Structure formats: structure tokens, C-alpha cells
Amino acid sequence: MVLSSILPERPLGIALIGTGFMGKCHAMAWRNVAAVFGGAHHRLEVLSDATPDSADSFARQFGFSRATAHWQEAVADPNVDVVSITAPNGMHRPMAEAALKAGKHVWLEKPMALTLSDAEAMARTATEHSGQATMLGYNYLRSPAFQAARTLIREGAIGEPLAFRGVYDEDYSADPLLPWSWRMTHEGGGLGALGDLGCHLVSHMLALMGPVAEVVAQTQVAIPMRPSPDGPKAVENEDSALALLRFASGAQGSFATSRVARGRKCRLQWEVHGQDGTIVFDQENMNELWVHKAGEAGFIRHLTGPGQPDFAAFCPAPGHNFGFNEQKVVEARDLLAAIAGGPNAGPDFVQGLEIEKVIHAMAASNGAVIRIERQDSR
């Protein structure tokens, strides 16, 4: 089934809450999704930001019809059908639940929530409002190379998966002089590297390997104190985490994530070892997939191209590269397909809860084995 052929027949009204990096990504995705995949051109109705001046400024820049400094007004607006939420982590639950209760579809950036109990409550609310589609912002799942890898594994190209090895490292917090911020607190940011980076790796891991049965992990606060205008303040959440996993299939896995790994910019890298071969992917080289099959001398490099899912909608020529924002456009298309009654490519809120269970188990482990209860997402 081709998702781009299942799109809403009428234009939808869009509200956007938040204007940072991801807010701009959402705005560009909404402006471009019809140009790439066809269907209706959706209406950019209302933009919400923290102050009236910033809301007005970004509404003009992003092309929204009107602005508000009160997110509740954006959620309640009768002209709005879909709410994109790119606000700080601590606001995810109240905003998403309010939007669902107001009858809106919701596109929410990861992490889903501050705590596991918040994520559980959000999944319940989404289930109670099953007429509205939900989507979590795991755009790395939309890479054509990743989609091709997932298909290869599903079709048995490397045999039964035996092991997963994954790393997601960045260095945006490596400087000890980086000022303290809300992102480094449980109340404002929730988890640290696990909630910001590791959840992306878990989303890939679950899509490739299936559910996790148990995990044992350790976390580290590498830089315990950060400077602030009020003097040094404590960092509450983890700078890095390491874990060993057992999947429900019996396969094993290893996991590492860090926000203080010097020199790493977006190293979302993993290998899947199968009985008959190995597949390797690295987000820093996201237009390459490396595949080895039994009997071959080494790995074969596969470049992204129109033969891989969704690439041809943007470019007809192989090797011309896909990008971060193109992934976001595909994600918008997938949400629209779910709204139109097609399959939900996910992760929706129920599927997202499974990601939250894994990262919160890692945070809680402290060297102890934690078994993860699985909830059927359908």
C-alpha cells in the first residue's frame, strides 16, 4: 500500500506550538508535504510562542495566518485540525492531552514525556480518543536507507537477526563551561542523553529487532555542576548511558548514548548481525547502507536512490542525497495518511510508550536487570 495515495481529501488547519529548531522543521514540512506527495495544501492557521512579539514574528516568518502567546488558544481554535507540538519536554503531556480532548490530531516531538507515568497517561488518553491520529517525531525512521534496511531484515536477506549493536553520540554538552539549563533537570527535561538521543536509537532498535524483554544498564553524570548566573548548579539527569539488552526473540543487544562524546555530531550508528549477513548504518552518513552477506569478501556500499522508499518523491537521481528535513516531510505525509484512515506508520502514542519503557528502564537499572512488560500496540 502506497501511503502517499491515502491522503486527506480536504485541506486541514494546522497549529504549531514552539518555534525552535524543530518548530521550523514542522513548519517547513507542512509547507512542503503537498508539493512532494500531492494532495491538499494544508492551511497554516495559528502559531503559538512564549510572547506576543515572538509569536507574531515567527508567524510571519513561517507563514501562519495568526499568532498567539497562549497555547491553549491554538489548541481550542475551531479552524485547527492538527496540532504540532515542539515545545519544551515538560509541556508535552498537558499540550498533547488538551489537543486530543479538543478533538485534534497530534504531531508531538520526542521525547514523549518527562516520566514513564506521564507517557502511560498520554497513551491512555490517545486510546480513549482513537478517532484522532497521533504521531511522535522520530524522523530518523523515515530515512530511505533505514527503511531499506528494515525491509531487508524483514525479508530475511541476512537471516535471523542474532544481535544488535547501537550507539548514538553527540558532543553538544561536552564543554564543561556550557551553562546550566532546564534540559539538565528532571522537572524540566526529564531524562538526559536517554531522552534526547537514546530514544532515537531505541526507535530504530525496536523497528529492526522487535520488543525488548530485559535490560541492564548504567548511567553517568560526567559533568556534575554547570555554571549559571546564580552560581554553579547541579546536573540532575544523565550525560551518558550504557546498556545490555535481551530481545523477546532471544537476540542480544548493546546500547550506548552520550551527549558529551567529543567530536561526535550525530553518530546514530548501528549494526544488525544475522545468521547470513550484517547490515550497518550511520546517520552521519545517512545516504549509505553497508550490507554483507555470507560468502562475500566484505561489505557492499548501497547509496540512497529512487529504488529506496520515498526517495524518488524528492529526486529522480541516485546518490544525490536525502536530508534531515526531507525525513520530516515524509513523517508529515505518514501522519496525514493515518488521519485519512490509512495505516499508522508510527510511532503513535501507544507505540511510543514502548520506547519510553525501554529508556526509563535503562535510567532506573543502576546495574540491576529490569524486565519490560510489553503492551500490544494494536
Structural domain count, the chain: 2
Here the CATH number for the domain that contains residue 326 is 3.30.360.10
Q: Is residue 210 part of a domain?
A: yes
Q: Is residue 104 part of a domain?
A: yes
Q: Is residue 169 part of a domain?
A: yes
Specify the pLDDT at position 60: 97
- 139, 158, 180 - which closes a domain: 139
Q: Are residues 309 and 169 in the same domain?
A: yes
165 beta partners: 254, 271
255 CB burial (10 A radius; 0-12, 13-18, 19+): buried
- 139, 174, 200 - which closes a domain: 139
Q: Are residues 145 and 178 in the same domain?
A: yes
User: Checking phi first, is residue 159 left (phi over 0); if not, alpha (psi -120 to 50) or beta?
Assistant: left
Q: Is residue 117 part of a domain?
A: yes
Q: Are residues 31 and 72 in the same domain?
A: yes
CA angle at residue 356 from 350 to 361, to 5 degrees? 135
Q: Are residues 321 and 211 in the same domain?
A: yes
- 139, 167, 182 - which closes a domain: 139
Q: Are residues 234 and 328 in the same domain?
A: yes
Q: Do 61 and 67 contact (CB within 8 A), yes or no?
A: no
Question: What's the predicted TM-score (pTM) here?
Answer: 0.95
Q: Is residue 7 part of a domain?
A: no
Residue among 214, 191, 201, 194 at smallest CA distance from 115: 191
Q: Are residues 257 and 117 in the same domain?
A: no
Q: Are residues 89 and 173 in the same domain?
A: no
Here the CATH number for the domain that contains residue 133 is 3.40.50.720
Tell the residue number behind the cell numbers 551527549, with chain if given: 259
Q: Are residues 189 and 103 in the same domain?
A: no
Q: Which residues contact 319 (CB under 8 A, 6 or more apart)?
A: 287, 303, 304, 305
Residue 37 lies in domain: 13-139
DSSP per residue over 35-95, as a string? Answer: HHH-SPPPEEEEEE-SSHHHHHHHHHHHT-SEEES-HHHHHH-TT-SEEEE-S-GGGHHHH
Per-residue pLDDT of the chain (378 residues; tens, 9 = 90+): 445 568 998 999 999 999 999 999 999 999 999 999 999 999 999 999 999 999 999 999 999 999 999 999 999 999 999 999 999 999 999 999 999 999 999 999 999 999 999 999 999 999 999 999 999 999 999 999 999 999 999 999 999 999 999 999 999 999 999 999 999 999 999 999 999 999 999 999 999 999 999 999 999 999 999 999 999 999 999 999 999 999 999 999 999 999 999 999 999 999 999 999 999 999 999 999 999 999 999 999 999 999 999 999 999 999 999 999 999 999 999 999 999 999 999 999 999 999 999 999 999 999 999 999 876 544
DSSP per residue over 156-220, as a string? Answer: TTT-SEEEEEEEEE--TT--TTSPP-GGGSTTTT-SSHIIIIIHHHHHHHHHHH--EEEEEEEEE
Q: Are residues 60 and 189 in the same domain?
A: no
Q: Are residues 326 and 221 in the same domain?
A: yes
Specify the pLDDT at position 305: 96
Q: Are residues 29 and 157 in the same domain?
A: no
Q: Are residues 213 and 272 in the same domain?
A: yes
Q: Is residue 243 part of a domain?
A: yes
Q: Is residue 376 part of a domain?
A: no
Q: Is residue 97 part of a domain?
A: yes
Specify the pLDDT at position 181: 95
